[in-house]
Amino acid sequence: MSRRLTLHILTGLACLASISLAAAFIARYGVNVPHWDEWQASAPVVIKTAEGALSLADLLKPHDQPRIFFTHLTTALVTALAAWDVRLEMWVSFALALLSFGLILAIQQRIHAPSLPWIAVPFALLIFAVRQRQNWLMGFQTAWFFWMFFALLALWLLVRLPVRKRSLVPILLCALCASYAYLSGLALALAMLPALWLRGYRKPIHYGIWLGAAALYTGLYFTNYAFVDQGFQAQVTAQLWHYPLYVLRYLGAPFVPDEPDFQGLSLILGISGVALMAFDLAYLWCKISPVARAVPIALSLFCLANGALAAIGRVKPDLLEYFWARPTTSRYVTAANLFWIALLMLGAMAFSQKSAPRRLVAAANGAFFSLAALGYLFANMTTPTYIATPEDRLCVLNYLRAPHDNCLFRVNADRSGYLATAQKLGAHRLSAFYDWYADFEPAAQPSQAHLQFLSGIADPPVFQEQAPDEYVSDRAIVLYQHPPSLAEQYLQLPEAEKVFFEAEIYVDLRNVREHPEVPQTGALFRLGIRHGRAVQTLYEGVFDVRTARAPIPIRVDLSQWRGRSLVLVYQTEVYEGIPFYAWAMWRKPRLVAQP
């Protein structure tokens, strides 16, 4: 086996290990529960998709400042295909990272193929770093991976296509898509101007097409655009020099933990990286081809533009107290990585040169990246794990039954509209409410099973003991379910020849006697089993308080599902539009097996 083949195999294995680590991180710590922006930005798209009311305007609607069209589109598709399992969105981010990694390798092959086996692994380590945990573990953060993918696709097209007017069209489309992936994508058109020149686009018509198209889609971007005031008022006016310091700390984020104590180290790394970038470019300027210079310059400018826009929005002394506004927050690591990818490209080309001062350049790059590697290891090894925990998921599932602010705090939801949003998600069986039963073992009897409330009035269904009265002569365990209400249970059916669900439907008749002046009708009862998001109705009946005077027994044959676990659906509806005193209940619900 040749040394070259051995090197390629080892490089491939090392890249695969880095990719596998990111995949394992998502698989282990991704939890199907909405978190933070997903409650405000994604949930409205999800609900409208489920209700068949989604429009293009909903997909283009800005969240805070950015229009995140591709994130909203992904959310809508995941809702239609997988009931908004946010873990699937996490895997979309992973797939976009894979595509981006492939583009980086293709670009490097184009501009400096000899160095590819040596720097493919550092590329993989940056692209798949777990330090970006917020972007990995929040489906909403696909925005960053779309942003990166379209930027790299534009650069790949730039180095791949011949220099002519028609080649600008697909590159401009990528710049347009980057803009609608995230706000700072608008900067790609400007960041690529030096790269266009270096690639060989020198005619005025080229820049007329480029700048004209960029001005057009930028104008469209801000048409009917509402600038959002996030409500943070600075106590102290930021000084001008605070902005470049923020950008430099943002650059150093991939190599430090996201903690206040490491802001200084991040600043040092950012300054060192910019200095080394300038040093490498000065050394290589006349030694490499213009196109080899074009890509690192465009990547670094694009990354710096994103950091500058973040600084404009975040450099407020009171706002910086929040972890998500710090320049080292994990959501910014994906963007900052592009700067270091650009520097790696230049460093690899610098190492291959033979002219003076080769040793000085090699020593500077080697020393810096050796220290950066140590920082990378420390930052990734100390990265926290969960964004939303399994306990948070259970808290959300229980919220409809017992609302309390602790749940809102744990998932960073908007308190003002959270309950209404959660009720709609439950009613449509979306996200955590779709596969809620995955957190529970199936029970042998309804009275022993977890009762998952999905939607209804403020009084959730509950199992209680009913005492005898003038209408019912026996004491019984009942499931109260005031209409309208929807609830489910996860049950294990016995392995028997015949299996039945038996109960009695009833509406408390004492209210008829105690409140004769109030019109009362009763309730409609439905029992079904769930197949995915669809429900197969097995029983439907009415208890009319105007005519019925005793509980009505029901028996539903479940024999075709014997020996299997299933989700049983209880639903009550207002009968004839009159909800007053409709205290509906399932009396003595039970599974009965017959040999």
Q: What is the pLDDT of residue 317?
A: 64
Domain ranges of the chain: 3-30+62-381, 440-594
Structure tokens at 327: 């320049």
N-term to C-term CA, the chain: 68
Q: What is the pLDDT of residue 229?
A: 53
Q: pLDDT tier at 356 (50, 70, 90 boundaries)?
A: confident
The amino acid occupying position 334 is T
**Strand 451-456 vs strand 565-574: parallel, antiparallel, or unpaired?**
unpaired
Q: What is the pLDDT of residue 384?
A: 87
Q: What is the pLDDT of residue 125?
A: 97
Given a cut of 80, is residue 528 above it in pLDDT? yes
307: left (phi over 0), alpha (psi -120 to 50) or beta: alpha
Mean pLDDT of 420-437: 90
Instruction: Tell me the percentage of the chain whose pLDDT exceeds 70.
Output: 93
Mean pLDDT of 420-447: 91
Max mean pLDDT among 306-315, 381-390, 544-553 falls in: 544-553
Q: Which residue has the higher pLDDT, 526 or 459?
A: 526
CB 529, CB 536: distance < 8 Å: yes
Given a cut of 70, is residue 331 above it in pLDDT? yes
Q: What is the CA radius of gyration of the chain?
A: 30
Q: pLDDT tier at 532 (50, 70, 90 boundaries)?
A: confident
Given a cut of 70, is residue 236 above it in pLDDT? no
Q: What is the pLDDT of residue 32?
A: 94
Mean pLDDT of 480-508: 94
**Angle (deg, nearest 10), helices 86-112 and 69-82:** 130
Q: pLDDT tier at 558 (50, 70, 90 boundaries)?
A: very high
Q: pLDDT tier at 397 (50, 70, 90 boundaries)?
A: confident
Task: Give the three-state DSSP class for 138.
Answer: coil
Task: Give the three-state DSSP class for 310.
Answer: helix
Q: What is the pLDDT of residue 395?
A: 84
For residue 435, CA distances in Å to 32, 33, 73, 452 come to: 9, 10, 22, 11
Q: pLDDT tier at 495 (50, 70, 90 boundaries)?
A: very high
Given a cut of 70, is residue 521 above it in pLDDT? yes
pLDDT in tens, 540-555: 999 999 999 899 999 9
Structure tokens at 211: 């700048």
Ordered alpha helix ranges (H), 285-404: 290-314, 333-351, 358-381, 390-399
Given a cut of 60, is residue 237 above it in pLDDT? no
pLDDT in tens, 266-298: 999 999 999 999 999 999 998 999 999 999 999
Q: What is the pLDDT of residue 232?
A: 44
Q: pLDDT tier at 233 (50, 70, 90 boundaries)?
A: very low
- In this structure, which topology does domain 440-594 adopt according to CATH? Jelly Rolls (2.60.120)
Q: What is the pLDDT of residue 235?
A: 43
Q: pLDDT tier at 228 (50, 70, 90 boundaries)?
A: low
Mean pLDDT of 120-145: 95
Given a cut of 80, is residue 249 above it in pLDDT? yes
Q: What is the pLDDT of residue 231?
A: 45
DSSP state of 140: G
Residue 271: exposure state from Cβ atoms within 10 A (0-12, 13-18, ≥19): middle
Order of strands, sheet of 552-557, starting from the edge strand that comes earlier in the sequence: 462-466, 476-480, 584-594, 498-507, 552-557
The amino acid occupying position 353 is Q
CA gap 177, 189 in Å, rounded: 11
Given a cut of 60, is residue 197 above it in pLDDT? yes
CB 567, CB 437: distance < 8 Å: yes
| pTM tops 0.85 | yes
The overall average pLDDT reported for the chain is: 90
CB 186, CB 147: distance < 8 Å: no
Q: What is the pLDDT of residue 170?
A: 97
CB 66, CB 176: distance < 8 Å: no
Q: What is the pLDDT of residue 432?
A: 92
Given a cut of 70, is residue 148 above it in pLDDT? yes
